[in-house]
Amino acid sequence: MANKGPAYGMSRDVQSKIEKKYDDELEDRLVEWIVAQCGSSVGRPERGRLGFQVWLKNGIVLSRLVNSLYPDGSKPVKIPDAPPTMVFKQMEQIAQFLKAAEDYGVTKTDMFQTVDLFEAKDMAAVQRTLMALGSLAITKNDGHYHGDPNWFMKKAQEHKREFTESQLKEGKNIIGLQMGTNKGASQAGMSYGRPRQIIS
């Protein structure tokens, strides 16, 4: 982990592509949301990918963020009094955040891996997870979200429809347009090239 040397060749190309996905404007929006959601006690990071990573690295800010989305009696992540200094404790704190975010409703495909944040391997994935968490918080609309509602997209929600038996029976008599239609079908006026020439 700490003794990892520089990347060369294809590894460097892959890493540079991953780093290009990081969005500085999105970072500003996420910082604003985290400060609005958790309060000014979490502080602010230095601008840039590295500053953002250092700010979130020990897992405390992330844990406070996910705890703030739950009611007072049921906080999912235990936050230690003093921020963890040992590497495995920090990674454990991040893992607790990821578990709580998944329980909150963030899909596995939107989640980052612990090393993506801890070793700054893929900070764009961290941004995606936080965006998904913010979108879910707005969609749930349970009063625990703080901040500008325009910062995140609201997720689509199910719109269940109820049909009566008579409406379902009527639907069986209609041929859907996906199956095609034979209305007005006729071969009148169709010609396929010249007629056969018989020479005697």
| Neighbouring residues of 90: CB distance < 8 A, sequence distance ≥ 6 | 57, 58, 59, 84, 118
Whole-number pLDDT of residue 151 = 82
Whole-number pLDDT of residue 178 = 62
Whole-number pLDDT of residue 2 = 52
CA distance 79 to 64: 8
Looking at residue 86, the DSSP 8-state letter turns out to be S
* Torsions phi, psi for 177 (to 5 deg): -65, -20
Other Cβ atoms less than 10 A from the Cβ of 185: the count is: 7
CA distance 133 to 127: 10
Give the domains, in start order, of the chain with CATH numbers: 12-151 (1.10.418.10)
Per-residue pLDDT of the chain (200 residues; tens, 9 = 90+): 455 666 677 777 777 777 777 778 888 999 999 999 988 888 888 888 889 999 999 999 999 999 999 888 788 888 888 888 888 899 999 999 999 999 998 999 999 999 988 888 889 899 999 999 999 988 887 878 888 888 887 776 677 788 888 888 887 777 666 666 666 666 666 666 777 778 86
CA distance 78 to 99: 12
Whole-number pLDDT of residue 145 = 83
Whole-number pLDDT of residue 149 = 80
Whole-number pLDDT of residue 54 = 92
